[in-house]
Amino acid sequence: MAIDRLLKDEATEEKGERARMSSFVGGMAIADLVKTTLGPKGMDKILQSTGRGQNVTVTNDGATILKSLHIDNPAAKVLVDISKVQDDEVGDGTTSVVVLAGELLREAEKLTMTKIHPMTIIAGYRMASECARDVLLQKAMDNKMDNEKFKSDLTNIAMTTLCSKILSQDKEHFAKLAVDAVLRLKGSTNLESIQIIKKPGGSLMDSFLDDGFILDKKIGVGQPRRIDNANILVANTAMDTDKVKIYGARVRVDSMSKVAQIDAAEKDKMKEKVQKIISHGINCFVNRQLIYNYPEELFADAGILAIEHADFDGIERLALVTGGEIASTFDNPESVKLGHCKLIEEIMIGEDKLIRFSGVKMGQACTIVLRGASVHMLDEAERSLHDALCVLSQTMNDSRIVYGGGWPEMVMAKEVDALARKTPGKKSHAIEAFSRALQSIPITIADNAGLDSAELISQLRAEHHKEKTTSGIDVITGGVGDMEKLGICESFKVKQAVLLSATEAAEMILRVGEIITCAPRQRDDTM
């Protein structure tokens, strides 16, 4: 007996050619969406939420744009995910990876139209990506042994990364900030010890790197403004725990003196807690929660600097860099690990007062203070700088570099083309298609700069048939330039991640033969 219907009423399924087309179209649409943001002359996008407050984000960071979209197409979601992973893994190349995956799908669509099986295309793509990776490994340079050259490489990588961001006008200044901050990490990829503080006002060029840790808080009234050789207790505790604060609690007394007794008893309990904290032998107390007036008075009398309501991110980082731990009970002073630093002082940035902790236990800790005209500009500057810091910290571990400006893509495309000519059978069409997809990155860079991409790419291809060429696209002069002289470098790790992630994502979408959409869950109206 034939089954009329297997799925529920509102469930849908797409099979074979239709499912494949739906996946291809979704992937290509996402790639076209972020394509205009690629390269030094890429444009920004304004993302406006429809929720309360209607937040506005101005950005050209691929991962930020794609994270903000609510997407229905399952293949498009795969590309959004690879962009997020690229952002988490290496920090840069979030747009390149989506554009390359989209182009691989566009080429695959043309091949499936000529009746080439998806599995054949996948096999060809696999061979091509292996070939491209091998040539990238051969061409990568490593200057880790020469300190001067390595520092120059790091600065060039930072400038290339910042070239396509809002910080491009002041890229030398910010590249120096980022390199100085990352060199302090001494090879660690933990960016927790680099804090970024945003303060509206001034210009982007007023941004600076400060040794030590800055907490965005003010020092209270009557408390010491400067402390040398500080012992810091970082806590997350309620200083009013012993107040009667149950809503609707009723205390019946027969005279005002009894009210005073209750008040005094509360004060005694608070005083007892403050005494326990003071007994730790500290001269600075930082609390995640409010401290209130009476305990603050007691701390001021004891000559202790008390900082209240520090944000959770702030106290976690403060505990990390000063070598302390966050405490919440104070009965056993010997079990509490205090933080230490050489100097605590109040500083002014613009109109605001902040607290600086200098000479902290974690020597690599530093703070980058960003200044700028508006909050939107500062948010985008932070994202740009974070990308540069991520790439640099990864380069400290894997110090290999490649030239930028479309040079690696052209080098890989040339080798993949040569492989296609040697490969018999239908796979060679897929390998050739992979080579065309690789060339789409320099084509997009040229198109976004308003240049004649067809003319430029043909010149570039001719240059790459010469031995040991370092030619790429120079969008400033609008022609083919020498990437070595221009100092346009990229991290090998970023390029490798772009190549492998885009190939794997395209392969995953190519394998799709059926899309089943579940029926929505019915709401129970009886409740």
For 250-282, b/e burial (b = at least 16 CB within 10 A) is eeeeeeeeeeeeeeeeeeeebeebbeebbebeb
Cα distance between residue 178 and residue 388, in whole Å: 7
DSSP 3-state helix, strand, coil percentages of the chain (rounded to 5)?
A: 50, 20, 30
Distance (Å, whole) CA 134 – CA 109 = 27
Chain centroid to CA 318: 21
Check residue 219 and give its pLDDT. Answer: 80
Distance CA 444, CA 451 (A): 10
Residue 248 confidence class, pLDDT cut points 50, 70, 90: low
Q: What is the mean pLDDT of residues 330-337?
A: 80
pLDDT band at 101 (very low <50, low <70, confident <90, very high): very high
Mean pLDDT, range 105-134, rounded to an integer: 90
Q: Which domains does the chain have, with CATH numbers?
A: 12-142+403-517 (1.10.560.10), 213-362 (3.50.7.10)
- The answer on pLDDT for 100 being more than 90 is yes
Query: Tokens standing for 155?
Result: 């600065």
What is the CB neighbour count within 10 angstroms for residue 225?
11
CA distance 380 to 43: 13
Q: What is the 3-state secondary structure (H, E, C) of 50-92?
A: CCCCCCEEEECCHHHHHHCCCCCCHHHHHHHHHHHHHHHHCCC
pLDDT band at 373 (very low <50, low <70, confident <90, very high): confident
Other Cβ atoms closer than 10 A to 28:
20
What whole-number percentage of the chain has pLDDT above 70?
Answer: 93
Question: In terms of C-beta density within 10 A (0-12 exposed, 13-18 middle, 19 or more buried), how is residue 211 classed?
Answer: middle
Q: Which residue has the tokens 């061979």?
A: 127
pLDDT band at 49 (very low <50, low <70, confident <90, very high): confident
How much is the average pLDDT of 315-319?
81
What pLDDT does 503 receive?
92
Q: What is the pLDDT of residue 296?
A: 82
Q: What is the pLDDT of residue 435?
A: 92
Phi, psi of 234 (to 5 degrees): -100, 125
What is the rounded average pLDDT of the residues 413-428? Answer: 89
Say how far apart CA 97 and CA 400 lie, in whole Å: 20
Determine the Cα–Cα distance for residues 50 and 41; give it in Å rounded to an integer: 29
- Lookup: tokens for 308: 């209240």
Higher pLDDT residue, 221 or 402?
402
Q: At what angle do helices 427-448 and 118-139 cross, to 10 degrees?
A: 60
Residue 39 φ/ψ, nearest 5 degrees: 90, 175
Average pLDDT, the chain: 84
Q: Which residues are catalytic?
A: 61, 94-95, 387
| pTM confidence score | 0.84
List, for residues 454-485, the tens digit of each pLDDT value: 898 898 888 888 888 888 888 888 888 888 88
Region 349-356: mean pLDDT is 84
Kindly report, residue by residue over 422-452, the tens digit of the pLDDT: 888 888 999 999 999 999 998 998 998 888 8
Average pLDDT over residues 38-62: 82
Please give the pLDDT value at position 1: 41
Judge contact between 453 and 50, C-beta under 8 A: no
- Mean pLDDT of the 34-55 span: 83
Between 420 and 293, the higher pLDDT residue? 420
Lowest average pLDDT, out of 19-33, 85-99, 283-297, 511-525, goes to 511-525
Q: Residue 519: left (phi > 0), alpha (psi -120 to 50), or beta?
A: beta
Band the pLDDT of 2: cuts 50, 70, 90. very low
Residue-level pLDDT at 526: 57
What's the pLDDT tens digit per position in 125-154? 999 999 999 999 998 888 878 888 888 888
